[in-house]
Structures are given as structure tokens and as C-alpha cells.
A and B are shown apart, each in its own frame.
Chain A
Amino acid sequence: DTEVTQTPKHLVMGMTNKKSLKCEQHMGHRAMYWYKQKAKKPPELMFVYSYEKLSINESVPSRFSPECPNSSLLNLHLHALQPEDSALYLCASSQDRDTDTQYFGPGTRLTVL
């Protein structure tokens, strides 16, 4: 099973809302990633978790808060977002942090009103 699942598929939220994006994999991978992708642009790395610890934070604003409750789950908590944060949010996993073969989920399409 090489599947990474993400929920929800679509999310619309106001600037004062708090919401969470969820990602799950059951491949035994120990590295998990959040990417942000704007329309017609390539994905940009936001966070990397390695063995459930935050490994990389690409200077992401604090209104995005990642969480890795266990090795299979990755959350992205959203609070006080701006309309320019509207994008496709992609989750990925790999065997470990040093492996570049990453498996991506289908993404969550986020719209901030």
C-alpha cells in the first residue's frame, strides 16, 4: 500500500476560523511533509517531520501549526489565515528523512474567505 490519504479534500474557512488538515500513511514511513502549492506554481516545502519530531520549518508563519501525534498521522492546524493562504496543501511521506522518494497525498484545496 503506497497510499497517503488527506482529509478534507476541500475546505472553505473564514479568517477567524480554526480548522485542521489531516494526513495519514500506513507504509511505516518515518518522515512526513507538508507542502503548499499555489495555482500554476510548483509545490513549496513548509514542514518536515522525522521520527515524529519537527525537523524543518521553512519560515512558515505561526498561523500554520503542524503536529505529528504518531508515526502515521500528520496534522496542520490553521488559525487566523489570510486570503492569500488559499492554496492546495499537500502531504507526503518517505521512508526516512534522507530518502527523496516521497509519496504524496491528493491534497486539500483550501479557500480562505
Chain B
Amino acid sequence: DAKTTQPPSMDCAEGRAANLPCNHSTISGNEYVYWYRQIHSQGPQYIIHGLKNNETNEMASLIITEDRKSSTLILPHATLRDTAVYYCIVSRDYNQGGKLIFGQGTELSVKP
């Protein structure tokens, strides 16, 4: 089972920052936090990942708390095209590598 908890839905005004929270209180020391998103009827898209430190790329920033029990994905200037389901993933069985276990995700609606 997925080891993440995300709000089922969120709204964000266009041009504002979207902050998507994720709780992963049982995360292990060697597990990364991954974020993917899925725009309606498309395949999931990799966004960003991190272990301990905050990370930033051209799409988003990832803030991980010091105890690693939660994280926040930040889309700095949300656009209508950012409307999607966002998945936070930390569960990975090292005995069966490459196994992404998707939780229910957060449906982000960016509104004009």
C-alpha cells in the first residue's frame, strides 16, 4: 500500500503559487520522495524528486521537512495547464526494484 497521504483536491488561482502537501510519516531513511503529475487522459509525467535536501528544477520546487515526514511540492506560478492530478510517491520495495506505488493523489484545479 502507498505510504503517502495527500488532500484529494485543491484549487489555485492562475499566476499564484500552488503548494501541494504530502505526508509520509513512515518513510525510511533510504527512500526518496518522488512527485509525478497526470494531466487528464495522458500518461503520468515526472516532476521532481529528493531525499533530504530541498530541490528545484524548471518545473517545481520540493521542500522536505527536516524529519522527512512530510514534503511540499511548489509550483511557483501556476497556469491553467498545471491542472492535473499530482502524485506523491515514497513507497518502493527494494526487493522488487522500479516499483512505483501510486497513492490517490491530489487533483489540482488552477482557475483563471
Closest chain A residue to B48, Cβ basis: A101
Q: With A4-B43, A43-B102, A107-B43 in contact, is A101–B97 under 8 Å at CB?
A: no
Interface centre among B49, B92, B96 (most CB of A within 10 A): B96
B-facing residues in A30-83 (Cβ within 8 Å):
31, 33, 42-45, 48, 50, 55-56
Chain B, interface SS category: loop
B96: nearest residue on chain A (CB-CB)?
A: A56
If A42-B87, A100-B49 touch, whether A90 touches B99 (CB-CB below 8 Å) is: no
In Å, the complex CA distance between A42 and B102 comes to: 6
The reply on B79 being an interface residue by CB < 8 A is: no
Contact among A90, A102, A104 for B98, CB-based, below 8 A:
A102
- A44–chain B nearest beta-carbon distance, Å: 8
Interface size band for B: 20 to 34
- Known contacts: A100-B49, A101-B49. The answer to whether A56 contacts B99 by CB under 8 A is yes
Query: Which of A31, A33, A104 meets B45, CB within 8 Å?
Result: A104
Report Cα–Cα, A109/B85, bound state, in Å.
18
A19 and B76 alpha carbons, distance in the complex (Å): 44
Tell me whether A98 and B46 are in contact (CB under 8 A). Answer: no
The answer to whether A106 touches B43, judged by C-beta atoms less than 8 angstroms apart, is: yes
Chain B neighbourhood of A56, CB < 8 A = 96, 98-99
Q: Is the CB of A104 within 8 A of B44?
A: yes
As a 0/1 sequence over residues 30 to 45 of chain B, the CB contacts with chain A under 8 angstroms (1 = contact) are 0010100000011111
Interface residues of B in 10-46 (CB under 8 A from A): 32, 34, 41-46
Q: Provided the pairs A42-B104, A88-B41 are in contact, do residues A48 and B46 lie with their beta carbons within 8 angstroms? A: no
Task: Give per-residue flags for B1-12: 1 if the beta carbon is below 8 A from chain A beta carbons, else 0.
Answer: 010000000000
Write the residues of chain A forming the contact surface with B, with a CB cutoff of 8 angstroms: 4, 31, 33, 42-45, 48, 50, 55-56, 88, 90, 92, 94, 96-107, 109
A-B contact pairs, 7 of them (CB 8 A): A42-B103, A45-B100, A45-B101, A97-B98, A100-B89, A101-B49, A109-B41
